[in-house]
Structure 1
Amino acid sequence: MAEAHAAASLQGLSEQAAKAEAASLLQQGKFMEAYAEYTQLLRQYPADPEVNLGLARSAVGSQRLNQAIMAYERVLEVFPAEATLYDELAQVYVVLGDTTNALLAMEQKQARAGTDPAADAAKIKAWSNQVSRHQLHGNVRLGAMYDSNANQGPASNKMMLGNWNIEFPNAKHIESFAGYAGAMLDYSWRMGQNSPWYIVSDLQIFSRGNTSNKLRHSSTRSSLWARGAAGLRRLGQRSLWDIRVKAEAFDYELYSHIWSTGPELMYAYAVSPKVQVIARGGIDKRDYARDRTKNGLYSNAGLYGRFFFGSNSQHEFMLGGKYTNGMAKINDYSSHGWEASANLMFRLPKGFEFGPFVAYGKDYYKGPATILDLEKREEERVRMGVSLNYNITAAWKIETSYQRIQNNSNSDIYKYNQDLVSVGIAWSF
């Protein structure tokens, strides 16, 4: 009798260990391995709802959608009033393009769990849009800001350059209020119904108009930035590759502009559901219309860690750094540098989002800032601030932010402080 009890206890421990192992693989996003583990468990415990639910979710993750449907149906026989299970089953049908059975699953949910038919129909519509091979997203934003140093000028028109005291008219910092407007479109097309490859593109534009008439001396009362890019994306179970060729233009009053073209690459890997590693890089060929001595190749490479925490992992923290390098036509303007940054995002009750951030970096140039300076130009920059947003609805958001920039340089002409305060509204679709 004691031996039988001991054997049963060992079997129970073995079962729990196997379930824990399978659940751990599922949580880490290792869907193929988890599916294999749950398949083994199903042979031993075919009526166990925990095993069937794990099998269903790992089957979805590994694109075995028909097997997932059968597993969900077995779980629903045990828990016929569990609304979440009907949602998951309906999503599988939507991915398969079977809207009829997705709606039937929702009707069963309404009959057994008493949910709202209109809300369920809206879910089906939203899921159908998500799995469409064509995806179009974007946003439009409008707002106003205060800039304590709209021309990024020094504290005074008088400055020391090398051994010389020089006065530059209109060089001193100029404060200004401003209005801004921006828009973004992001489009992707999946090459096949189950293909990991996508054709991707984006269009972005941002315009700013300052109110201070003092900025007319430097032709910087208004500015416009625009970008267009297209490329390829590969989306795996735990990784994402995205490579695009971009073209950007930055312009002051249709007078002074910068053209920038080149490739950019982004790679992201999910170490676990709560940890991601993100790498970014790019090369720009820049053309300065009013200062061709700065024309050349500019590159950057960065590595970041993204961490999710809190209940439902709704908060996030990103930490990392990037390296920059510029090879200008005139060697004195060539430089290299680095920047480390940290960003937090807290998603609070009532639709609020709170995001403090800080960044610190240095730039080293191969020549002096001016012909009067005696040393090669070096700069140290600190950026810090906070954003506070309020989600009015899923589509509409009020955005506010404050940013402080301190740029220290061994040349007085590039020493400045800047405070930016903005408030606006954004619509996303």
Structure 2
Amino acid sequence: MKEKVIIGMIGLGARGASLLEMIVRNAKDVEVAAVCDLYEDRREAAADLVEKAGGKRPVAVARYEDVLALADIDAVVIGASWAAHLDIAIAAMEAGKYVASEVGGAYSVQECWKLVETYERTKTPVMLMENCCYGREELMVLNMVKQGVFGEIVHCAGGYHHDLRGEIAGGEENRHYRLNEYIHRNCENYPTHEIGPIARVLDINRGNRMISLVSVASKASGMKDYIKREKGGEHTLANVEFAQGDIVTTVIRCARGETITITLDTTLPRSYSRGFTVRGTRGMYMEDNQSIFIDGQHDECHFDWKGQWGNAESYYEQYDHPIWKKFVEDGVKGGHGGMDWLVFEDFFDCAKNGKPTPIDVYDMAVWMSISALSEESIALGGHPVAFPDFTNGKWTTRR
């Protein structure tokens, strides 16, 4: 067991910078020894942040390879653009550094296989930092599922319902990679916020697996309309044709017979939601109105459900996950309602004690591959596409 974990932070845009700030404020046994970004202003601001927080000023470099070459680095946190995640993760595993990678989608099945093969050769743990797996309601629902409250689970749904038009349209000014993604790709580009909690509910890679998907995309009208209204017809993006459909719907079949529906919905006006839904033979959970329906308890309300909206909170006392019970007692901290800190606390504990990560390389490969597989399915007009078995059969015995 290490007294502290020495880390390098790679990628310091909006997300990377916010994570770094959370780490230096809350992680008492973590030292940030290196910060890395292609842009000098970002890496110098990050080094200033660490120093002002009372730490030794970290090395500030432009190349992630220079971080990986530092002998005293135990682990790296990858907050770079989607396109760089897997390349950096693979290089870090080769260098023997524990890897914490921010979320996103893969560009090919081949790079997912390379990730898995690198882990199996080096045995260097990698963790996909899917914070939504640590949400209070997601963990409570998981706890209820494991206790049989919803009966046998038949179907789950979720989505990334988040109006990102302003962020995408400002990509050039803000140096944000999403703009280029939406111009050139048409896929389920951000699947892990919804699929992570669902994969836990359905035991994916641990007794169950995803076997195929079908994806369809609507036309792409939201961004062009937004840019013309907000930035004017003379703006450089006004006549750009965006490839990314406004709504992408993906249906996944699982080996045990369950189905999953996930939706990407980021370029039309709407409220934020992850749409987490769990359907079982004895009940259901719905995130959008934060309600739980239990067979035999709520039958009389099923035609007048509005009065039960928000009733999920009443289940905290009985079914709140132990992780959250302790978190509430100790004091909730970190971004996104505390989820950000919980996922990093788990990762740092693994790196400190040399343990396997809870969201491991096989989870990372399967969840991220959805982007590449959906892109293929959409291009083929909604043709079914098979999931590779990244565990090579071990899903039947892993727990």
TM over 0.5: no
Bigger-Rg structure (1/2): 1
Q: Which has the higher helix share?
A: 2
- TM-score class, shorter-chain normalisation, is under 0.3
Q: Which has the higher contact order (CA 8 A, sep 6+)?
A: 2
Q: Which has the higher strand share?
A: 1
With normalisation by structure 2, the TM-score equals 0.27
With normalisation by structure 1, the TM-score equals 0.25
